[in-house]
Amino acid sequence: MFVDSHCHLDRLSEHTHQGDVAATLKAARAADVSQFLAIAVTLEDMPGLAAIAREHQDVAISAGLHPLHTPAQEPSVRDIQDAAEQYGAVAIGETGLDYHYPDRVPVEVQHERFKRHLIAARELELPVIVHTREAREDTLALLRECSDPKVGGVLHCFTEDLDMAREAVRLGFYISLSGIITFNNAAALRELAKKLPLDRLLIETDSPYLAPVPYRGKPNEPAWVVEVAECIAKVRGISVDEVAMQTTANFYQLFKAAAPDAPAHVQQALAQAGLV
């Protein structure tokens, strides 16, 4: 069994099962994907995400504002917390820093927004989902300043270096790998996947973006998180089952609010890992 720890179910392409969420999830379940974390990129997404979660027991959701989106009004700490509580989010985010497109949202605005999310997560004791791109030092500095290691979070779709990953782990964070790890030019990321402790790794699709090999060029979907697990298993020289079991256990260890209604076979896996 597998968990897609980061997907955008409200933004599916029309080419992904005609944009049908139920059909997309059915295909993923047929590939042994047993849990999905649907990620908010704006607080305005929350009603739609909550509707998906109400219809599908195996879907959990987050609450947050992406660093590259420009809202009509910047959300306060209380706004973020209210959205998380109203709609039953199990995490805060995605949030963070993205300097690849610095003209889209000024760096100083990104910093203050990221801080507010980190404070909201800390006060609600919910893990934070961090988007970081070309902002290594500032991301780590704000995590040191504002995050709670006892609550932690995840650096999602990680593409930075091993030193940053190790520092994030020291700060209480997990590292999530996406389909990028399968790309021909991702040798450094595959080397990182070999060296990081397996009990700090998560897997994700970030669908409908970043489809893995052999599906590059197509809209991504949660079923293909299996390709990420298979790549990690190959580079580490272990079984796919081991990657699946450990990353699933890691997911529920981090996103504890997603665990109580987990299917029986997931509860069994958690028990075997000593997590319940």
Domain CATH number, residue 230: 3.20.20.140
Whether pLDDT at 230 is above 70: yes
Strands in 128-133's sheet, in edge-to-edge order, are: 2-7, 33-38, 59-63, 91-98, 128-133, 153-155, 173-177, 201-203
131 is in an annotated binding site: yes
0.85 exceeded by pTM: yes
Mean pLDDT of the chain: 94
What does the pLDDT average to over 15-19?
91
Total domains in the chain come to 1
102: confidence class by pLDDT, cuts 50, 70, 90: confident
6 is in an annotated binding site: yes
In the numeric block, the tokens 């529920």 are attached to 252
What does the pLDDT average to over 225-253?
97
Percent of the chain scored above 70 by pLDDT? 94
Question: DSSP string spanning 71-131?
Answer: -SSPPPHHHHHHHHHHHT-SEEEEEEEE-SSTTTS-HHHHHHHHHHHHHHHHHHT--EEEE
8 is in an annotated binding site: yes
Listed in sequence order, the residues at least 6 apart from 88 whose beta carbon sits closer than 8 Å to its beta carbon are: 50, 53, 61
56 is in an annotated binding site: no
What does the pLDDT average to over 200-211?
98
Q: What is the pLDDT of residues 166-201, one digit of tens each?
A: 999 999 999 999 999 999 999 999 999 999 999 999
Q: Which domain holds residue 38?
A: 2-272
